[in-house]
Chain A
Amino acid sequence: EPEVTQTPSHQVTQMGQEVILRCVPISNHLYFYWYRQILGQKVEFLVSFYNNEISEKSEIFDDQFSVERPDGSNFTLKIRSTKLEDSAMYFCASSEGWAGPGEQFFGPGTRLTVL
């Protein structure tokens, strides 16, 4: 069964460093998303991406964040200068189409630890 994959599974970085989290969405899906979950808290939407551009973003997704689809399979989230409060699980998700209920399927996540 097709699935969303993410690398790395765990990333440790120093405050102020740049990190890139990588995702490979399900191959026939057209819509891609990033969510995050701080330990013990809700899953929060960050950004959605369609047709090589951002469709929506939350107030969390400030200028420190960017997304890119550098090739036909990868979807990346970059955090330019990490802060302690960026420590969280980051989930990539994808969905097939815009119409209809639009089920989103989640990858296994990247645990980001900022020291």
Chain B
Amino acid sequence: QKEVEQNSGPLSVPEGAIASLNCTYSDRGSQSFFWYRQYSGKSPELIMFIYSNGDKEDGRFTAQLNKASQYVSLLIRDSQPSDSATYLCAVFGDTGRRALTFGSGTRLQVQP
């Protein structure tokens, strides 16, 4: 059974701080890793993806991947109240499989 685990939170950070969101996965064959943001009652919105070990930066967001530890994280710099949402980690399995396996999400609250 392929699992993606996230702390459900809520993670509360003050405005302007760095929010750090973490995700672990069980399938060592996983190829690609995605972070989605989901506001209450809305659909998942793709923030960024990563498939190589190391860091990948896109604006205020940095994704970090460590395949040896089966760990992927998302850093949000200069957090804004509008960043308050649930952040979903999603993983692609083995090569050739297109189904995303989602974690349950971490709820982030940015306090003004």
A69 to chain B, nearest CB (A): 16
A13 to chain B, nearest CB (A): 20
Interface residues on A, range: 20 to 34
A104 to chain B, nearest CB (A): 6
B25 within 8 A of A: no
B102 within 8 A of A: yes
Interface 0/1 of A79-115, CB less than 8 Å to B: 0000000000101000100100111111111000000
Contact residues, A13-72 vs B (CB, 8 A): 31, 33, 35, 41-45, 48, 55-56, 58
Closest B residue to A57 using CB positions: B99
* CB neighbours of A91 from chain B (8 A): 43-44
Contact residues, B88-109 vs A (CB, 8 A): 88, 90, 92, 97-105
* CB neighbours of B51 from chain A (8 A): 101
Other contacts beyond A43-B88, A104-B100: 17, CB < 8 A: A31-B98, A33-B98, A42-B105, A43-B44, A55-B98, A56-B98, A91-B44, A95-B98, A101-B31, A101-B34, A101-B92, A102-B32, A102-B92, A102-B98, A107-B43, A108-B42, A108-B43
A-B interface pairs (CB < 8 A), number: 57
CA distance A48 to B46 in the complex (A): 18
Q: Which residues of A contact B (CB under 8 A)?
A: 31, 33, 35, 41-45, 48, 55-56, 58, 89, 91, 95, 98, 101-109
* CB neighbours of A31 from chain B (8 A): 98
Of B31, B49, B104, the residue contacting A103 (CB under 8 A) is B49
Of A56, A89, A107, the residue contacting B97 (CB under 8 A) is A56
CA distance A55 to B98 in the complex (A): 8
